Amino acid sequence: MNNKHLKTLTLISMTAALAMTVGCGSTSSDATASSSNASAKKLVMMTSADYPPYESHKTDGGSDQIVGFDVDIAKAISKNLGYELQIKDVDFNGLLPALQAKQSDFVMAGMTPKPERLQNADFSDMYYEAKNTIIAKKGANLKTEADIKAKKVGVQLGSIQEGAAKKMEGVNITSLNKIGDLIQEIKAGRLDAAIIEDTVAKGYIASNKDLEFNTIPQTESAGSAIAFPKGSTLVGDFNKELQKLKDSGELDSLIKKWFETTN
């Protein structure tokens, strides 16, 4: 069912670069032709592109691309390992089933390696930490679990925020597929609040001045790691590359690029 929403959105072809490095005589400008070259290996990444600054759609003069922190990390790692990268967009709730069905080589979606998920996927080391917040209309002043008791609270279907909300007493939960839909429901007054991680909440607040967010004290980590099908041999390679990005300061530069906005 999610498959019909599956769209191949980005094909980052490294083949042109490869052809130049290898210097194989006539340089073809046809990326498809050169990608049939035996040396062009491809990795398929799945994500849920409703999660800026980790991943979101960017439309530039008619062309639709998925961009973000996760995408930049995935590009850097794939490039260093000598792969082409293809990115597919799927609802968050469909990511792990698709991964288990081997429809992708890895998932990067600001995904937290929760114990339940470890049964169905292998995870890389963490590459970013985050916390949960309560996002609501400006002035609502909802700060703690107690404040949202008996309120209508939205969460993303299949997310750890949904899990966290279910553990809270007396919260009236609505689970939706897309973060953007949660925001719209709050603005329309059909939801009192939503639980969303801090970095993502910050971005939505910046473009929706009628909303505010408060970090929930003492919640579990909502940090991110890369998910692979169980037993994938890519995990070790990805961890090595992640470590290199950490050591070289490249990861810090990407954190600055995507998370340290001036609003």
For position 160 contacting ligand ARG by CB under 6 A, the verdict is: yes
- Which of 90, 201, 222, 245 forms a contact with ligand ARG (CB under 6 A)? 222
How many CB atoms lie under 10 A from the CB of residue 132? 24
- Which of 35, 86, 112, 199 forms a contact with ligand ARG (CB under 6 A)? 112
Q: Which is nearer to ligand ARG, 51 or 258 (CB)?
A: 51
Q: How far is CA 189 from CA 117, 136, 137, 192, in A?
A: 33, 10, 8, 7
For position 121 contacting ligand ARG by CB under 6 A, the verdict is: no
- Which of 35, 43, 51, 52 forms a contact with ligand ARG (CB under 6 A)? 51
Cβ at position 91, least distance to ligand ARG in Å: 9
Most distant pair of Cα atoms in the chain: their distance: 70
Q: Which helix (H) or strand (E) holds 79?
A: helix 69-81
Q: Minimal CA–CA distance to 194: which of 246, 138, 248, 134?
A: 134
Q: What mask of x and - would describe binding to ligand ARG in positions 61 to 100, judged by CB under 6 A?
A: -------------------------------x--------
Question: Residue 68 has what DSSP assignment?
Answer: S
Between CA 127 and CA 35 the distance in angstroms is 30
For position 48 contacting ligand ARG by CB under 6 A, the verdict is: yes
For position 35 contacting ligand ARG by CB under 6 A, the verdict is: no
Q: How far is CA 183 from CA 78, 115, 151, in A?
A: 33, 28, 16
Q: Return the bridge partners of 195, or none.
A: 134
Q: Is 207 helix (H, G, I), strand (E, B) or coil?
A: helix
- Which of 43, 50, 69, 227 forms a contact with ligand ARG (CB under 6 A)? 50
Q: Which is nearer to ligand ARG, 19 or 171 (CB)?
A: 171
Cβ at position 105, least distance to ligand ARG in Å: 17
For position 104 contacting ligand ARG by CB under 6 A, the verdict is: no
Cβ at position 197, least distance to ligand ARG in Å: 6
Q: Which is nearer to ligand ARG, 153 or 222 (CB)?
A: 222
For position 156 contacting ligand ARG by CB under 6 A, the verdict is: yes
Q: Which is nearer to ligand ARG, 222 or 226 (CB)?
A: 222
Quick check: 178 and 91 in contact, CB under 8 A?
yes
For position 10 contacting ligand ARG by CB under 6 A, the verdict is: no
The two beta strands, 41-47 and 83-89, are parallel
DSSP secondary structure, 84-97, as one string = EEEEEE--HHHHHH
Quick check: 240 and 125 in contact, CB under 8 A?
no
Between CA 89 and CA 8 the distance in angstroms is 7
Stretch that binds ligand ARG, among 44-52, 81-89, 137-145, 233-241 (CB under 6 A): 44-52
For ligand ARG, the binding residues (CB under 6 A) are: 48, 50-51, 54-55, 92, 109-112, 156, 159-160, 179, 197, 222
